[in-house]
């Protein structure tokens, strides 16, 4: 079975600081993808970043980067220079034969 674990129900970060949201996964598939999504209070799901299991380099998209440590089965999201608009729920997900989501981390950016 595949599983995604996000152990931080809530996180706080000072504006302009960096924050790391943790995600660990469990799969026996050799090929899989890891995703991060943002869900603001308005409810929509916004794709942020993707990392393939065979990718040698960590994925980056603007202020978002994915710290992929394959041996540890972790795929942490790093948000640099936090902004007030980053306050939202963040979900880690994995696709192999199906899509699995973690339970999410609520991030609050403090001015």
Partner 1 sequence: DAGITQSPRHKVTETGTPVTLRCHQTENHRYMYWYRQDPGHGLRLIHYSYGVKDTDKGEVSDGYSVSRSKTEDFLLTLESATSSQTSVYFCASIAPAGTGVYEQYFGPGTRLTVT
The reply on whether position 64 binds partner 1 by CB under 8 A is: no
Q: How many residues bind partner 1 (CB under 8 A)?
A: 23
* Per CB under 8 A, 65 contacts partner 1: no
The reply on whether position 12 binds partner 1 by CB under 8 A is: no
What beta strand segments (E) does 1-111 contain?
A: 3-5, 10-14, 19-21, 24-26, 33-39, 46-52, 60-61, 64-69, 74-79, 88-95, 99-101, 105-110
| 111 touches 15 (CB < 8 A) | yes
In this complex, which beta carbon is closest to partner 1, that of residue 90 or of residue 109? 90
Q: Applying CB under 8 A, does 99 fall inside the site for partner 1?
A: yes
| Residue 50 touching partner 1 (CB under 8 A) | yes
Angle (CA) 14-63-70 rounded to 5° is: 105
Site residues (vs partner 1, CB under 8 A): 4, 33, 35, 37, 43-47, 50, 52, 54-55, 91, 93, 95, 98-104
């Amino acid at each position: 079975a595949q599983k995604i674990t996000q152990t931080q129900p809530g996180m706080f970060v000072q504006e302009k600081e960096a924050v790391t949201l943790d995600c660990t996964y469990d799969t026996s598939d050799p090929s899989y993808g890891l995703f991060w999504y943002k869900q603001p209070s308005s409810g929509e799901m916004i794709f942020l970043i993707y990392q393939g299991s065979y990718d040698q380099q960590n994925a980056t998209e603007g202020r978002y980067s994915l710290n992929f440590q394959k041996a540890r089965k972790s795929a942490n999201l790093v948000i640099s220079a936090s902004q007030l608009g980053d306050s939202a729920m963040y979900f880690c997900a994995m696709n192999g034969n199906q899509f699995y989501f973690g339970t999410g981390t609520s991030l609050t950016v403090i001015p």
